[in-house]
Chains A and B, each alone.
Chain A
Amino acid sequence: MGSYLTAFLVGGLICALAQLLFDLTTLTPAHVLTLFVIIGGVLSGVGLYEPLVKFAGAGATVPITSFGHQLVQGALRELETHGPIGVLAGIFDLSSAGITAAIIFGFVVSLIFNPKG
């Protein structure tokens, strides 16, 4: 899925758009990232994010927008197989790796290292 060129072009573009919001608005990074996750989720819901992933590969799966996509897809897949309760049950299915990795590696790194200031 995707190529090195499309990954660079699309991934870079998403970051550049976020930088514009950082510098031109009073939105904090937390606000911008939250907005991007929501946008990723909405695009996923209307079926536009999956084509982007096919086109840009990592350029679509690495930015935080992809997290929104994974959460929505998780919900929708469980909805298909188990009906409405699947919306609650399936949200974290696809993003489990990312969340688990962040927790585990965060925990381990905090045991080994110290903040340098």
Chain B
Amino acid sequence: MSPSKDKQKVKKQQALQQEFQSIAKRQKPKPPLLRNVCVAYAVGGLICVIGQAISKFYTTLGFSAEDAGSPTVATLILIAAVLTGLGIYDVIGQFAGAGAAVPVTGFANSVVSAALEFKREGLVLGVGAKMFSLAGPVLVYGTVTAFVVGIIKACLR
């Protein structure tokens, strides 16, 4: 085909694609933004309140306010792990979106759900190898950030 016919074909294709994209965009149902944001706020806030209560509990056991942080996080992770195992956390997640994903309970759910799902491939190659398939980026980029910040601080000294 001659170059000008090729060009025409490409142009036609692009026009078709643009028209289709606008149809697809128009037909795509919009997520209920207000409802989603409010529910995420409420559920996320509630999980933090629960965390606050757990933290207060540990201070009554003798932990200082700062030291209570570790057992609090561990407790929340345990709760999320069990809820994931019971098949409840995914329901909470569908309901609350970021309200369930952003707290550390969401991190726990991503690790536990992967471990659960891939246990069919065995403890080593399934559970062991794929446990962090969802949570990996958080670990990697958190570490990279800490390293970069640390190096910058070291240079500024």
Contact = CB atoms under 8 A, between A and B. Distances in A.
The answer to A–B direct touch (Cβ < 8 A) is yes
Contacts of A21: 98
B1 interface: no
Contacts of B50: 58
Contacts of B40: 12, 15-16, 18-19
Interface of A: 1-4, 7-16, 18-24, 29-34, 36-38, 40-42, 44-45, 56-59, 61-64, 66-68, 71-72, 74-76, 79, 83-84, 86-88, 91, 95-103, 105-116
Give chain B's interface secondary structure class.
helix
A38 B87 CA distance: 30
A14 B33 contact: no
A110 B132 CA distance: 13
Interface residues of B, number: 76
Nearest to A116: B87
B19 interface: no
Given A15-B41, A62-B48, A62-B51, A68 B145 contact: yes
Interface of B: 31, 33, 36-38, 40-55, 65-66, 69-74, 76-78, 81-82, 84-87, 97-99, 101-108, 111-117, 119, 127, 131, 134-135, 137-139, 141-143, 145-147, 149-154
A64 B103 contact: yes
A86 B135 CA distance: 25
Given A101-B74, A110-B112, A18 B33 contact: no
B127 A58 contact: no
A83 to B, nearest CB: 8
Contacts of A8: 45-46, 48-49
B154 A79 contact: yes
A87 B106 contact: no
A71 B134 CA distance: 19
Nearest to A23: B31
Contacts of A42: 145, 149
Given A63-B44, A109-B81, A22 B146 contact: no
Contacts of B51: 7, 11, 58, 61-62
